[in-house]
A and B are shown apart, each in its own frame.
Chain A
Amino acid sequence: MSKEVLIQALADMREEEAVGLARQMVESGADPLDILDATRAAMDIVGQRYEKGEYFLPELLLAGEMLSQISEMVKPLLAKTQAAKREGKVLIGTVAGDIHDIGKNIVVFMLDANGFEVLDLGVDVPVQKFVEAVKEFQPQVVGLSGFLTLAFDAMKETIQALDAAGLRDKVKVMIGGGSVDEHVRAYTGADAWGRDAMAAVNLAKQWIGG
């Protein structure tokens, strides 16, 4: 019951109520996965409303803020229940020349909530930094984010650099953000592209399993 109420509160941007409800659920010993499930469902609704033009960028930002507050509450519980049970590793960042990360942060949250170990390199990430991080972190999946169409070249260069370093066949690369589509995927040489955070989660699941 409270799960449904939480979903509605989140989707309707009633921040205090949503965060309060999540806290109550945590304190009363609710399953942390249930709470995360509610945030996922709420993000789905927010995404749909955004697509329909009922919500705009500010709602995505507010949703992101609520999610990060709730995830801070839920994480300690998750660590207890599924410490060893991580689905796989995803390396992610906004490519060089682009500093937008609203969408990427939501993707990071959703991957995290779905059990992936995520290393987020931040924004304006130099090509070489991605290469080094792939060597050290050894992810199965690399996510490249970019909002500007200017970023498409940086995505392409990053993937070429992975190739040059002999790492390209060790990872699957997904791209997303802004107007990324199949044309951009083909242009950059990525393995797949995604429209939203759930698409990123589904791709990672498909590639890593789980």
Chain B
Amino acid sequence: MNPRIFVLACATVIEEMLPLMPPGAGYEVLDFGLHINPDRLRSTLQERVDQVPDSYDVVLLGYGLCSQAVIGLHARRHILVIPRVDDCIAIFLGSRAAQREQNAREPGTYYLTKGWIEVGDTPFAEYDRLVQRYGRERADRVIRLMLNHYTRLALINTGQYELDRYREYARRTAERFGLRYEEIPGSTTLIEKMLHGPWPPDEFVVVPPGETVRYQDFYPPDESECAARGLDSRGSENPEHPSSPQGGHSGD
């Protein structure tokens, strides 16, 4: 029997997870604004992890390392599963490798997705807030400085939604702030793996009940050691907690 999963996800990430949610999975959405303050994001996540009912086996985070906000988290009675990525951009693009490839190609990329546009995490929305607070002249200067060295605005198309409205918005944003517009293909590969397993150690941090998420889980001293460190060593300490939904963990 597959484990019962409870998803704790950022408002921007849940958008892409909902269409693929397995039956019986529970979820809670957290405010996207938390990401700018990792300490607050961490304490909020911990609080929510602690509240997940015992009827679930696994708490799956719709987050990445997120400025180390997930380091130190622990679940007392659940297995904690986190995609082993830097942030949600990798989740939308389908893998850590895909994000690294995009980043190496053009580091000055401002990414947008449907979720980000909906929650208002865009240069336009930021600009409006700045105008309210500082007036137009200063807002112009600040937004220019904030976008300094950015060259491209990339709308990630995960293929799950009709993007016309967002495409138009993204294109206008790029034009207004002097960025080159590009639409890049996203992928649901990682989201599917998150929701349905398996959770291989090179792609997922799987933490048994009572243990803590560590920095080394995301950045092991030697990348080739990640399989041994991330999971197998832990698995052997806790043989009763298998590492993936296929592991046969019943939870009861």
A residues apposed to B, CB below 8 Å = 15, 53, 56-58, 61-62, 64-65, 96-102, 123-124, 148-150, 152-153, 178-179, 181, 183-184, 187
Contacts and interface: CB of A to CB of B under 8 A. Distances in A.
A152 B103 CA distance: 13
B166 interface: no
19 contacts: A58-B134, A62-B141, A65-B141, A99-B108, A100-B149, A101-B149, A123-B107, A123-B149, A148-B86, A149-B67, A149-B86, A150-B100, A152-B219, A183-B71, A183-B216, A184-B215, A184-B219, A187-B215, A187-B221
Nearest to B68: A179
A149 B146 contact: no
B142 A61 contact: yes
Contact of A150 (B36, B38, B86, B134): B86
Given A149-B87, A187-B219, A102 B107 contact: no
Given A57-B146, A58-B142, A99-B150, A150 B71 contact: no
Contacts of B108: 99, 124
Contacts of A102: 145-146
Interface of B: 36-38, 65, 67-68, 71, 86-87, 99-100, 103-104, 107-108, 130, 133-134, 138, 141-142, 145-146, 148-150, 215-216, 218-219, 221
Contacts of A124: 107-108, 149
Contacts of B100: 150
B102 to A, nearest CB: 10
A149 B90 CA distance: 12
Q: Say what secondary structure dominates the interface of chain A.
A: loop
Contacts of B149: 99-101, 123-124
A101 B148 contact: yes
Contacts, number: 68
A53 B37 contact: yes
Contacts of A184: 215, 219
Given A58-B134, A62-B138, A178-B67, 19 more contacts: A58-B133, A58-B146, A61-B142, A61-B146, A62-B141, A65-B145, A97-B107, A99-B107, A99-B108, A99-B150, A101-B148, A102-B145, A149-B86, A150-B86, A150-B103, A179-B67, A183-B71, A183-B215, A183-B219
Which of A57, A97, A98, A149 has the largest count of B CB atoms less than 10 A from its CB?
A149
A184 B219 CA distance: 9
Contacts of A123: 107, 149
A179 to B, nearest CB: 4
Contacts of B67: 149, 178-179
Nearest to B99: A150
A62 B142 contact: yes
A108 to B, nearest CB: 14
Given A102-B145, A183-B71, A149 B107 contact: no
Contacts of B87: 149
B86 A61 contact: no
A71 to B, nearest CB: 16
Contacts of A58: 130, 133-134, 142, 146
B107 A61 contact: no
A87 to B, nearest CB: 29
B49 to A, nearest CB: 20
A179 B86 CA distance: 12
